[in-house]
């Protein structure tokens, strides 16, 4: 790639050929103000705030879209430029309601910041008098047209990042309005509620309902951690206000998801209102008696040691940290030789001879087969990446008994017995990829085996740490009735606990390490309170094998402890010497600016 | 040196800007060595002296004909007119009335309120008539200095007075004294 040399404000700056004036300036540390520009989105030139003077050009040009060419001379803050920017801002402020004192985004608004920067202390044009609609129909966010500046960041984010194309503009000129699909309320549209539009909105037009008006941005601190809702392990920021979680935000630097989050990860993860277990408790004939950690661990250790290894069971959660899984392996597999073991969630077996794919490969793939999985429901961020691949021209084939949501984006949907057709189609592609889940049947696995060596295989597992859990071999065929003592590590899973609790033998002694109360916790003879995903640090290995770091945003509630801490203390109580390889993570906190 | 004379008045305002002015606290004592507040809504003398003042301060939006008169009187009696607060500069929260329309707002407030029985929209000739559109002061009279904020902080007032006493007209506010909320 060639380089060009341009002059910005008298300073020589070199840039790659094809870079815009804005990119060249920012690369040289020269600030050009922007509003519609967002680093994750393609430039649109919609707002005209970044106007600059360019030699040889009759009029001012938007720096965000204008390509830098050899010997170009640019002025970014000349009197003419500043006057034009003020004019542009006065026009933007004159349309719609930009009164800051009643806006939740005041203090975190890029339009406000520009008003300050260019000293807008009163309005030149008449006060606005039109009232626009507010669409508060979505569950977690709302769209206030009165604050919209039509910068199209949300439109671009919905199309380019999420691949969903729900948002667009209708009408022209002063009549232009943001709309969803064919102008329907957001809740009735194809919106998937991921909130990426909220994240990129520069004003208060798209806001999260839960956190609106709750805190000033200057009072926030952000802690980077890893989402534990599915096996993708998306990085995100926990925005904290005075020790409370205010909201979850995109972490644009996150290598796995690059700022993308789904509805579950961004919004629903904070809506878990199940009652917590806050102290170690012994079940004494139906009555729960709080006990000290020492007593609880001593009781657990005594029970575990007294049980016949063949009748000792471990049920592990796929949401445990790597550290906890290593400790569970050391205690139950290496030391106690537990004969019964299993995982709370199922696991999809790997294709040992096939090349393992990564999420990023989805973007480069030209043919994707989706089999035995519905990522739009279970791993939505993967669905976003698949839709983006389809936008770029990749062929998508879905396979399964019933077509999932992504079938609408697919070239064809095949039922399991037609899987050969899909395999043939993939064999004709240059960079085929198979994305599969635990719904894949044995016969289908054999059919797909033909693609081994040609396609990359990406498993979409259920739990955030299923990969490590299967690697340390805690998976097995646990028979709840065959256990005298059963140690269950109940993560934050929903729904799976009831069936498990019902299957446990009446006589067996159940030790449950759990975050929330559940039928299983009710059945447990000994309860060990566990910290939630927001309360524990550690590492997780996502489904593609990336190591993801979790940093506790909150201290553990009550007497609860992180999963690795409980198992570490249990190991000590059992008299296992401290293995230097099993160092417990300290409570590390990573703050992002 | 003679003290600089200042007069303040409010239009459609909540009094918050004047409270913020009083938030200067002990700095008012030092300020009073140099300036004299001749009239203000929070002192005994309410109207700016006919002989005139150097600095006139108006807070609040222009919402009715009385506000227009007050604004014009202040403009006629001061050398430098300062519009203080979001209402005086932009129309502020009072301008939210423009969304509904003046007549609808009057009906809602005086006739349709849930607790109202036999309501009546005030129409005494002694009262100012509500305008169709609420505006900032700058739409009615020439304003020399705008100091937005809801309200401007005491530090912003301090900056304003310090600049004026130093013989400078702060027509372009520095970033730390310009705010919209």
Distance CA A167, CA A180 (A): 5
Identity of the residue in B83, B135, B146 whose CB atom sits nearest the CB atom of A127: B135
In the numeric block, the tokens 């309120």 are attached to B113
Vertex A198, ends A195 and A202: CA angle to 5°? 160
Please list every residue in chain A whose beta carbon sits closer than 8 Å to the beta carbon of residue B13: none
Helix or strand run (H / E) with residue B6 = strand B4-10
Q: Which three-class secondary structure string do you get for A428-482?
A: CCCCEEEEECCCCCHHHHHHHHHHECCEEEEECCCCCCHHHHHHCCCCCCCCHHH
The pLDDT of residue A593 = 44
- At what angle are helices A563-573 and A293-306 packed, to 10 degrees? 60
Contact A122 B93 (CB under 8 A): no
**Chain A closest CA to B136's CA: distance in Å?**
8
DSSP B110: H
E-strand ranges in A292-364 read: 312-316, 340-343, 355-356
Dist. CA A332–CA A343, nearest whole Å: 13
Any CB–CB contact under 8 A between B161 and chain A? no
d(CA B62, CA A331): 76
Q: Which two tokens stand for residue A566?
A: 């409980």
Q: What is the distance, to the nearest Å, from the Cα of residue A144 to the centroid of all Cα atoms in its chain?
A: 25
A591 with A325: CB under 8 angstroms? no
Q: Is the dihedral of CA A169, A174, A175, A177 positive or negative?
A: positive
Element (H, E) at A283: strand A281-284
Structure tokens at A52: 């600059």
> In degrees rounded to 5, what are phi and psi of residue B142?
-75, 130
The pLDDT of B96-113, averaged and rounded, is 93
Tens of pLDDT, residues B16-35:
999 999 999 999 999 999 99
How near does any CA of chain A get to the CA of B77, in Å? 22
- Kindly list the domain boundaries of chain B, sorted by start residue: 4-97+132-177
Q: Give the torsion sign (CA, A302, A304, A308, A311).
A: positive
Cβ partners under 8 Å of residue A81, min gap 6: A51, A52, A53, A60, A75
B99 with A112: Cβ contact below 8 A: no
CB A512 within 8 A of CB A527: yes
B148 in contact with chain A, both atoms CB, cutoff 8 A: yes
How many contacts (CB atoms, under 8 Å) link A and B?
A: 70
Q: Which residues of B touch A127 (CB under 8 A)?
A: 90-91, 95, 98, 133-136, 139
Residues 6+ away with beta carbon under 8 Å from A334: none
CA-CA distance, A535 to A255, in Å (whole number)? 22
Chain A residues inside the 8 Å CB shell of B151: none
Inspect the interface and report whether the beta carbons of A121 and B181 lie closer than 8 Å: no
Contact at 8 Å (CB) between A261 and A247?
A: no
- Structural contact between residues A529 and A514, judged by C-beta atoms closer than 8 angstroms: yes
Q: How far is CA A502 from CA A480, A505, A530, in A?
A: 9, 8, 22
Which residue ranges form the domains of chain A, and what is each CATH number? 3-77 (3.10.20.740), 129-270 (3.30.70.20), 281-346+467-592 (3.40.50.740), 355-460 (3.40.228.10)
Tens-place pLDDT, residues A573-592:
998 866 554 555 554 455 55
Strands A432-436 and A367-371, how do they pair? parallel
Q: How far apart are CA A235 and CA A233, in angstroms?
A: 6
- Pick out chain A residues at pLDDT < 50: 581, 587-588, 593
Q: Does domain B4-97+132-177 have CATH number 3.40.50.720?
A: no
Exposed, middle or buried: residue A181 (CB in 10 Å: 0-12, 13-18, 19+)? Answer: middle
Q: Is A490 exposed, middle or buried (0-12, 13-18, 19+ CB in 10 A)?
A: buried
In the sheet that holds B53-59, the strands lie side by side as B35-39, B4-10, B53-59, B78-84, B145-147
Strands A141-144 and A206-208 come out as antiparallel
Q: H-helix or E-strand containing A110?
A: helix A110-117
Of A11, A4, A5, A3, the closest CA to residue A75 belongs to A11
Contacts of A472 (CB under 8 A, 6+ apart): A325, A326, A328, A329, A333
Q: Are B60 and B88 in contact (CB under 8 A)?
A: yes
């Amino acid at each position: 790639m060639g380089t060009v040399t341009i002059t910005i404000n008298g300073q020589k700056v070199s840039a790659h050929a094809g870079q815009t004036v804005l990119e060249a300036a920012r690369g040289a540390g020269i600030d050009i103000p922007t509003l519609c520009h967002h680093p994750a989105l393609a430039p649109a030139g919609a707002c005209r705030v970044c106007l600059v003077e360019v030699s040889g050009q009759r009029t001012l040009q938007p720096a965000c879209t204008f390509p830098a060419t050899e010997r170009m001379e640019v002025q970014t803050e000349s009197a003419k430029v500043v006057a034009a920017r003020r004019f542009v801002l006065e026009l933007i402020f004159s349309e719609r309601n930009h009164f800051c004192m009643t806006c939740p985004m005041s203090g975190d608004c890029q339009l406000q910041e520009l008003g300050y920067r260019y000293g807008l202390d009163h309005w030149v044009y008449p006060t606005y008098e039109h009232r626009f609609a507010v669409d508060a129909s979505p569950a977690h966010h709302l769209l206030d047209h009165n604050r919209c500046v039509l910068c199209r960041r949300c439109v671009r984010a919905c199309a380019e990042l999420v691949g969903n194309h729900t948002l667009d503009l209708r009408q022209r000129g002063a009549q232009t309005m943001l709309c969803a699909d064919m102008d329907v309320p957001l809740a009735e549209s194809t919106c998937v509620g991921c909130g990426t539009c909220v994240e990129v909105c520069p004003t208060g037009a798209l806001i999260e309902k839960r956190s609106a008006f709750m805190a000033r941005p200057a009072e926030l601190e952000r802690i980077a951690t890893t989402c534990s809702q599915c096996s993708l392990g998306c990085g995100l920021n926990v925005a904290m206000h005075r020790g409370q979680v205010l909201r979850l935000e995109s972490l644009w630097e996150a290598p796995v998801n690059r700022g993308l989050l789904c509805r579950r990860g961004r919004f629903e993860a904070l809506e878990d209102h199940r009652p917590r277990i806050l102290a170690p408790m012994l079940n004494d004939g139906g009555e729960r008696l709080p006990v000290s950690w020492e007593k609880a661990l001593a009781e657990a250790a005594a029970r575990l040691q007294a049980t016949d290894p063949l009748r000792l069971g471990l049920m592990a959660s796929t949401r445990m940290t790597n550290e906890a899984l290593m400790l569970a392996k050391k205690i139950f597999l290496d030391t106690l030789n537990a004969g019964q073991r299993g995982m709370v969630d199922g696991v999809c077996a790997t294709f040992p001879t096939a090349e393992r794919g990564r999420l990023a490969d989805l973007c480069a793939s030209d043919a994707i087969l989706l089999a035995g999985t519905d990522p739009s429901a279970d791993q939505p961020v993967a669905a976003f990446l698949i839709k983006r691949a389809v936008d770029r021209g990749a062929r998508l084939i879905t396979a399964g008994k019933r077509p999932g949501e992504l079938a609408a984006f697919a070239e064809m949907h095949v039922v399991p017995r037609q899987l050969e057709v899909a395999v043939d189609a993939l064999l004709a592609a240059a960079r085929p990829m198979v994305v599969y889940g635990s719904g894949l049947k044995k016969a289908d696995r054999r059919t797909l085996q033909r693609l081994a060596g040609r396609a990359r295989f990406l498993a979409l597992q259920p739990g955030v740490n299923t990969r490590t859990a299967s690697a340390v071999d805690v998976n097995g065929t646990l028979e709840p009735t065959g256990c005298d003592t059963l140690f269950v590590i109940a993560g934050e899973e929903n729904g799976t606990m009831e069936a498990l609790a019902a299957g446990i033998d009446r006589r067996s002694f159940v030790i449950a390490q759990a975050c929330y109360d559940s039928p299983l916790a009710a059945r447990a003879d000994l309860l060990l309170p566990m910290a939630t995903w927001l309360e524990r640090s550690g590492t997780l290995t996502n489904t593609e094998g990336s190591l993801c770091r979790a940093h506790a945003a909150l201290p553990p509630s009550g007497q609860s402890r992180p999963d690795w801490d409980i198992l570490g203390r249990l190991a000590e109580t059992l008299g296992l010497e401290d293995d230097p390889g099993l160092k417990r993570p300290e409570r590390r906190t990573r703050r992002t600016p | 040196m003679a003290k600089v004379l200042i007069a303040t008045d409010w239009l459609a305002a909540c009094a918050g800007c004047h409270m913020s002015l009083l938030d200067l606290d002990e700095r008012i004592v030092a300020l009073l060595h140099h300036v004299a507040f001749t009239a203000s809504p929070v002192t005994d003398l309410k109207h700016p002296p006919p002989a005139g003042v150097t600095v006139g301060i108006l807070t609040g939006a222009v919402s009715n004909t009385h506000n227009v008169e007050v604004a014009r009187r202040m403009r006629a009696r001061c050398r430098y007119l300062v519009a203080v607060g979001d209402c005086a500069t932009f129309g502020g929260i009072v301008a939210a009335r423009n969304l509904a329309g003046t007549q609808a707002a009057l009906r809602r407030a005086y006739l349709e309120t849930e607790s109202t029985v036999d309501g009546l929209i005030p129409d005494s000739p002694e009262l100012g008539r509500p305008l169709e559109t609420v505006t900032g002061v700058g739409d009615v009279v020439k304003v020399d200095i705008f100091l937005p904020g809801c309200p401007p902080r005491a530090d912003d007032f301090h900056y304003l007075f310090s600049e004026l006493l130093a013989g400078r007209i702060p027509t372009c506010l520095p970033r730390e004294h310009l705010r919209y909320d």
